[in-house]
Amino acid sequence: MQDWLWASATDLGRRIGTGAIDPVALTEAYLDAIANSPLAPRIYVHVTAERARREAAAAADRARAGSRLSALDGVPISWKDLYHTAGVESTSGSAMLAGRIPKRDAKVVQNAGKAGLVCLGKTHQTELAFSGLGLNPVTQSPPCVNDAEAVSGGSSSGAAASVAFGLAAAAIGSDTGGSVRIPSVWNDLVGLKTVSGRLSLEGVVPLCARFDTVGPLCRSLEDAALLLAALEGSKPADLADFSLEGARLGILKTTAFGSIEDAPRAAFENAAQRLQNAGAIVEPFETETVSEAAALGPILFPAEAYGTWRDLIEEKGDMMYGPVRARFLQGKTIMAADFIAGWHRLEALRQDYHDAVCDFDAVILPSSPIRPPKMQALLDDDAYFTAQNLLALQNTRIGNLLGLTALTLPTGVPSCGIMVQGRREEDILAIGKAMEAALS
């Protein structure tokens, strides 16, 4: 049973389908692992054991009857604390929301249930999801799988740790500026940021609704495709046809390589070479639209975040970790006219970017220019926290600002990833599957 904890969600689903794994036994294996892990309290806010056992028993009945709901029916996963789960506190990592108990599941949680996925519980995160580092001294700060003294990446910190430490088969996080992809890359996972609006935000605690997206953190591209379908209530994408032979991949230069550390740069360059060896045509390119869009981030993100949470922060903001509260308060002085003008400009830049990359099948770049910093160093120096947070999000937020879907893949170098981004999830998943094969 121990090997079950490290298998991909897809592999577990297949073995449930053949009768080799019983969903009840699988769920008990994860619940036992959580109960016996000294790290579990730093990863899980709530373990929903009763619900998990009930859902696993129903999945087992369907498996015996030959009436499984999906390829992942009976597979146990975790949920970031900002997803509503009926009768279970949902605080989005904030002490200000303590005691907030929703009456029904978020829409994506409902969809996952209709696909037969088993809910193990809710995972820790950055306060109100507004940091890419995963440090939360108000609740818990999950560790990185590659460095026990380092942060796991945020804001879906516990989501990544639950998978990386064998306490869930996959996890569902959210991504507003990189919150699925940063913890995925730092914990050597696959992370998918969906296009804004594709997956429902009903029953999801907001940060910046115009940027917020739902996405999985998992072990394989096939997992990501199946989880996307489950969250949407749709059929999985066909990933079988794409080949890297002759594929044109653009390397986004300038902005994406600013302040990059040696290890992420070398890992990316090695990965790009392996893609070339597999037949891809890899071409560096530059476009000013990216730096112009990045310059709008300090206006658009904090203005909407503060506008969303202004009343609560003004009343109870002293309950927050100082550097995270400071990020929200940056939005306090941004004029409405600047926010509206910023969005008008961003919409034009999005079209300019699409025009600039239309000849490429996809664009690749380092997932993160830095590796995870030490927790204590972040706690000791607020300025260091702020600088590292901006660096962590430097590359991922490009996709959020430009309205793209993006996928991060492990490179084989700990906490170093390669990101591929484009306009449609189906295209990026197919390209990513071919890249995964070339990089494995």
314-331 pLDDT, tens per residue? 999 999 999 999 999 999
Answer yes or no: are the C-beta atoms of 199 and 211 closer than 8 Å: no
| Per-residue pLDDT tens digits for 159-203 | 999 999 999 999 999 999 999 999 999 999 999 999 999 999 999
Write down the pLDDT at residue 254. Answer: 83
pLDDT above 80 (res 97): yes
**Distance set, CA 52 to CA 76, 121, 231, 256 (Å):** 8, 8, 18, 41
Q: What is the mean pLDDT of residues 269-278?
A: 98
Percent of the chain with pLDDT over 90: 97
Question: Binning pLDDT at 50, 70 and 90, where does residue 241 land?
Answer: confident
Write down the pLDDT at residue 385. Answer: 98
| Per-residue pLDDT tens digits for 376-402 | 999 999 999 999 999 999 999 999 999
Write down the pLDDT at residue 239. Answer: 86
Mean of per-residue pLDDT scores for the chain? 97
- 380 CB-side CA count, 13 A: 5
pLDDT above 90 (res 256): yes
- Rg over alpha carbons for the chain, rounded to the nearest Å, is 20
Which among 7, 432, 439, 440 has a CA at the least distance from the CA of 218? 7
Type of residue at 418: I
Distance spanning both ends of the chain, measured CA to CA: 25
Environment class of 195 (CB within 10 Å of its CB; exposed 0-12, middle 13-18, buried 19+): middle
Q: What is the mean pLDDT of residues 147-161?
A: 98
Q: What is the mean pLDDT of residues 209-218?
A: 98
Choose which CATH entry (3.90.1300.10, 3.40.309.10, 3.40.50.1220, 2.40.30.10) describes domain 2-232. 3.90.1300.10
pLDDT above 80 (res 301): yes
Kindly give the pairing relationship between strand 417-422 and strand 44-47: unpaired
pLDDT above 80 (res 419): yes
Concatenated DSSP letters of 414-432 = TT-EEEEEES-HHHHHHHH
The tokens describing 378, both together, are: 């972040």
The tokens describing 139, both together, are: 């609740």
Q: How many helices (H) and strands (E) does the chain have?
A: 16, 13
Q: Strands, DSSP E only, in 253-368? A: 281-285, 362-366
pLDDT above 80 (res 1): no
Instruction: Work out the widest C-alpha separation in the chain, in whole angstroms.
Output: 60
Q: Say which CATH superfamily domain 248-290+335-439 falls into.
A: Amidase signature (AS) domain (3.90.1300.10)
Residue ranges of the domains in the chain?
A: 2-232, 248-290+335-439
Q: How far apart are CA 234 and CA 236, in angstroms?
A: 7
Q: Is the pTM of this model over 0.95?
A: yes
The tokens describing 248, both together, are: 């044109």
Topology agreement, domain 2-232 and domain 248-290+335-439:
yes
Question: Binning pLDDT at 50, 70 and 90, where does residue 2 land?
Answer: confident
Q: How far apart are CA 411 and CA 180, in angstroms?
A: 17
Q: Which residues contact 303 (CB under 8 A, 6 or more apart)?
A: 331, 334, 338, 339
3-state SS, 343-401, equals HHHHHHHHHHHHHHCCCCCEEEEECCCCCCCEHHHHHHCHHHHHHHHHHHCCCHHHHHH
Write down the pLDDT at residue 240. Answer: 79
Q: What is the mean pLDDT of residues 39-55?
A: 98
pLDDT above 90 (res 335): yes
- List the catalytic residues: 80, 155, 179
Question: Binning pLDDT at 50, 70 and 90, where does residue 407 land?
Answer: very high
Answer yes or no: are the C-beta atoms of 82 and 180 closer than 8 Å: no
Answer yes or no: are the C-beta atoms of 56 and 27 closer than 8 Å: yes
Q: How far apart are CA 422 and CA 425, in angstroms?
A: 8
Which among 57, 31, 55 has a CA at the least distance from the CA of 44? 31
Percent of the chain with pLDDT over 70: 100
